[in-house]
Structure 1
Amino acid sequence: MGLELEFKYALTGPGQLEELRQELEKAFGPWEAVEMETVYYDTPDQALAARHWTLRVRQENGRPVLTVKTPGPGRARGEWELPGGGLADLSQLQALGAPWEVTSLQPDQLLPRCGARFRRLRLLACLPDAVAELALDQGVLTGGGRDLPFWELEAERKGGSGEALAQWCRSLSEAWHLQEETRSKFARAASLIKT
């Protein structure tokens, strides 16, 4: 199983995002911009959401990426990705270790539930004892015919110590007075349907 370890912080708006962009660029180098458009899928009876599983197809600068996420130990989540994949390719994720309950689904058994459109700035940061992808996201979550703007910082471990990344994130959040975002983009977008 691929394990994702990620720390996420809500930002107050575009001003704070821009200030962080400048500071982090000074420390780690230039950002890469990626336009993201995500659709989250589930069965009509929401069997995936009931298990806290996420199935999405995300366009990254126009290229699809099929992803399944499941709860994992502590902060970690199970994550399986297939670049270039769409719903018709779900079975290919089984070879990567994704749960068969998801990989055996057919596209006609799935419905779009909610989504997100955002611009991501990302860079690879070499921290003391860890390597992380830092991302600054700005866009909208969509669900139930409603949009919710968001701004956030993500730090995802790509190598090294999870504790070292956690410590770096704690220091950054204290220095910038950042609020941890405990809900995923999917959870926040899905909540738009219910309210």
Structure 2
Amino acid sequence: MAVDRERVERLTRELLEAIGEDPDRPGLKQTPARVAELYEEFFSGVGQDAAAPLARTISVSRGPAPETLPSGAVLLRDIRFRSVCEHHLLPFAGHAHIAYLPGEQVVGLGALVRVVETIAARPQVQERLGEQIADTIAEHLDTRGVLVVLDAVHGCVTMRGGRQTDASTLTIAARGEYTDAAARAEIVVLIGAGA
């Protein structure tokens, strides 16, 4: 489902009027169109299949040592993401770190980035965002374990209320072997080593 740009423009104009502004003044005249374009980008993941990028896998059992499966994790750190908090429609942004223990199939690393981008491009809360990323990877990729760590700064914390400009939120979602704290400890250390 695509964003209804005309409707967003009308509603933005109405919002400007509701806060006592003149939407026809020079500085605001293009604002409704700009907000519609912004929302189309920010919410492009609504209705999209986040698992689609995981459909193209590569078999690791057909290489020079077909009886050998990868013994360690695949870790992709520092995936930049941004989303919009569903509570106040303010942005939050940060880094996603994804680790998975491959089974017989692996996927291109760009596919993991696209999973994050698709799910983040919806009205969200960080806790659910991490869980949805972990579920998508665990359900659509041959894995023995998945770990998703998100570290983000929220506009609703930095720009309103207590205005804690240095505060960030860290969430962890684990599936499979990584539900065991000892099993994920090495990955958490490796994520921190990159900071």
Normalising by structure 1, we get a TM-score of 0.28
More strand by share: 1
More helix by share: 2
Larger Rg: 2
Greater relative contact order structure (CA < 8 Å, 6+ sep) = 1
Normalising by structure 2, we get a TM-score of 0.28
